[in-house]
Structure 1
Amino acid sequence: MQIKEVLLAPGNGAFFYDDQAAIRAGAVQDGFVYVGKPLTPGLASIRVPASSLSVGLVLADDIVVWGDMMSVQYSGAGGRDPLFDPRQIKDLTSLVVAPRLLDVDASHYLDACDKVFEPSEEGRLPLAVEYGVSQALLRAAAHLRRSTMAEIVCEEFKLPFPSQRVPIYAQSGDAREINVDKMILKGVEILPHGLINSRQKFGTNGESFIDFVKWVAKRTREIGHPGYHPVLHFDVYGWIGQEIGLQPQRIADFICNVAEVVPAFTLNIESPADFGSTEAQIDSYAQIVSILDHRASSARIVVDERCNTLEDIRLFAKAKAAHLVQIKTPDVGSLADTARAVLFCKANNVGAYVGGSCTETDLSARATVHVSVATQADMMLAKPGMGVDEGLSIVGNEQSRLFAMLDHRRAPANTVS
């Protein structure tokens, strides 16, 4: 079950890499671009087109399976890996990773990942490399064992056959009102993200944000189908802490007040504040979670920044420093670690949200669907891109196709259903 050859192909991500530090500092938008100098190392401008690098594994039967490497929208922020450099990644993959791939049994997924992702002399491989290569290895194992990628994950982690669909969460980007309407009309289960990434969108003391929350709730009732009742999920990019201060009690008070304006809804607040380090983030988020739980608030804290790798996720889950952990797949690295992260969160009674980034590709999005379903994550992101329709189509259709195949495995009679 050897890999005969490794192919590399440059590609595009589905959105752009953005300089979070410059945007937080007040960079002004001019059309789609941001005006001003970048602040994050590696970025030539505040917004640059996302790039990717595809890795193809030529198997013994000459079938080629692919995975895509890339980094996330806000690369270099919140403890993440630096901006994705396709030329550097291509050289590293050719010199270090490809020889390892030619020496593994591609039919055994976890063993292959362990061998290929051994640290090099310079330390751990870039997480983008792990991410793309692990997708290709998962597809290789599925092809060689004549199964779905989800079944490979179940077999390797000794998990029961998945039975429940994973709720899908969509993000709006800057075209918030139009995209919220799209989500509601399509019955998205969790919405809308909202991209609350600037003082203008958050408002003095949060007034603009609260108005948007109320509008989204009102809009679901106005144009949603009867009985439609989504979870409301807003990413505030640390702006609660930025605007009202970094005291956990004040942040919890603010979040409780927001939840009270939409009392009929479960409210997810992602990245309420950035406390500057993983240790400080864990301590402060645990306090916020405790306060919300004590008050029986309908609001839930979702961690993103400072919670990147599998080890970070384990620390947050152990400390109950979030109600939901975003497992941002390109930041975690290997999809095997994404599966481990979901299972660790579930074992510690913390919600597991398999996220990712708008900068990803169709291939990476589809692979993460299989991991999400196999591990029965609590929710997964519609990705890539910021257009809503494309991400919902890619992720939603992949999940539907997957369950059609899994149902066929359960009842293999030769019938059409």
Structure 2
Amino acid sequence: MQIKDVLLAPGNGAFFYDDQAALRAGASQDGFVYVGEPVTPDFAAIRVPASSLSVGLVLADSTVVWGDMMGVQYSGAGGRDPLFETAQISRLTSRVVAPRLFDIDASRYLDACSKVFEAFEHRRLPLAIEYGVSQALLRAAAHLHRKTMAEIVCSEFSLPLPMRKVPIYCQSGDAREINVDKMILKAVDVLPHGLINSRQQFGANGQIFMAFVKWVAARTIEIGRPGYHPVLHFDVYGWIGLEIGLEPQSIADFICRVADTVPDFTLNIEYPADYGSTQAQIDNYARIVAILDDRGSSARIVVDERCNTLEDIRLFAEAKAAHLIQIKTPDVGSIADTARAVLLCKANEVGAYVGGSCTETDLSAQASVHVSVATQADMMLAKPGMGVDEGFSIVGNEQNRLFATLTRRRAPVQKTQTNRTVPHAEQP
């Protein structure tokens, strides 16, 4: 079960790394480029192409299994790790992580993760390293046991094989109207994100945002197929707090007004305000949640910024400081911790959303699907990229392939006239 070599291959993320502080300060766009000087450390420009680093584990039978490391779009903001730097991550992986990989049993997933991700020089390894290497280790365990990655997660965490598909959430990027139409035509479960990341998109007192919410709901009814009824989920990047003020009562009042404009839909509001620290975020989000619950509002608060690691997620879940917690996979680190985070949310009766970033890759997205399904998360992000088609295809198809495999595992087999075994499969 030994790993006999480690390969590294630099690559691309599916979108760009953006300086959130510069955007919030009012940086303007010239085409796809942002104009002005960066604010966040390590950014050479406000928008830079996302990079990644693939790590390949060469197993004893010469099979190579891969995982991908990268940062998130808004690196260095909201308590997150700094901007991903390929050369630095590559050196650390070669010098520190690779020797550890040669000493572990790759068939024992959680044990392997705990040994490989021990602190280095009294500090935790960069979360991007944990994320990419943990994907590769999960694929290694799946290969060695001849199982899917989801089955490895179920086995390691003593979970039953999943029966329910996980709803998929798509994000629109800047092409809001076109991508909303795509989502509706493809009957996406949760939409549209909206990328409400500037005063221009939010509007004075939130009027532009409210109009957009109403338009999305009306458009869903107008062009959606009969019976299609998605959850509406909008990420406002803290702009309710920036424009309306940080008082929880005022924020709750505004969210209720938005929900009242789309009474037939469940409304998720992600990142309504930024209170500057994890503890302040917990305290104030808990107040907003309590106010909405007392009113019986259909609106739900989703936390993102200031809720990064597994420990952060535990604090938010135990405080009931969100209705739904985004488990932002590259920020959590080891994908085993993503599984732990979902289970922690469930234990505290808080919704678990396995998210991530548009900067990810096909490999990280596929691994996320297996963890989401195994732990039965409440929803998962269609990723990577900022378009609809690619991410929805990668995540949706991986989920469908996984369930076809699991259905075969469960079903009795019958012999056909040609002596081939054919499972009783579910119809799509």
Following superposition, the deviation at residue 90 of structure 1 comes to: 0.2
| Residue correspondence of structure 1 range 3-152 to structure 2 within 5 A | 3-152=3-152
The count of corresponding residues between Structure 1 and Structure 2 is 417
Deviations 1:59-117 (A, max 9, x none): 00000000000000000000000000000000000000000001000000000000000
Aligned counterpart, 2:422? 415
CA distance in 2, matches of 1:237, 1:332: 19
Aligned counterpart, 2:284? 284
Following superposition, the deviation at residue 412 of structure 1 comes to: 4.7
| TM superposition score normalised by structure 2 | 0.97
Aligned counterpart, 1:384? 384
| Residue correspondence of structure 1 range 15-414 to structure 2 within 5 A | 15-413=15-413, 414=421
Deviations 1:240-290 (A, max 9, x none): 000011100000000000000000000000000000000000000000000
Following superposition, the deviation at residue 122 of structure 1 comes to: 4.5
Say which SS state the counterpart of residue 415 (structure 1) adopts.
strand
CA distance in 1, matches of 2:389, 2:361: 14
Query: Percent identity of the aligned residues?
Result: 81
Following superposition, the deviation at residue 174 of structure 1 comes to: 0.1
CA distance in 1, matches of 2:138, 2:366: 12
Following superposition, the deviation at residue 411 of structure 1 comes to: 1.0
Following superposition, the deviation at residue 353 of structure 1 comes to: 0.1
- Superposition CA RMSD, Å: 0.5
| TM superposition score normalised by structure 1 | 1.00
Paired amino acid for 1:369: V
Paired amino acid for 1:405: T
CA distance in 2, matches of 1:141, 1:227: 41
CA distance in 2, matches of 1:20, 1:253: 27
Say which SS state the counterpart of residue 352 (structure 1) adopts.
strand
CA distance in 1, matches of 2:226, 2:9: 47
Following superposition, the deviation at residue 375 of structure 1 comes to: 0.1
**Structure 1 runs not aligned, ≥5 long:** none
CA distance in 1, matches of 2:387, 2:321: 31
Paired amino acid for 1:192: P
Say which SS state the counterpart of residue 320 (structure 1) adopts.
coil
**Structure 2 runs not aligned, ≥5 long:** 414-420
CA distance in 1, matches of 2:401, 2:392: 14
CA distance in 1, matches of 2:33, 2:350: 38
Say which SS state the counterpart of residue 206 (structure 1) adopts.
helix
Following superposition, the deviation at residue 415 of structure 1 comes to: 1.2
Give the ranges of 4+ consecutive aligned residues of structure 1 lying more than 3 Å apart after TM superposition: none
Say which SS state the counterpart of residue 134 (structure 1) adopts.
helix
Following superposition, the deviation at residue 387 of structure 1 comes to: 1.1
Paired amino acid for 1:241: G
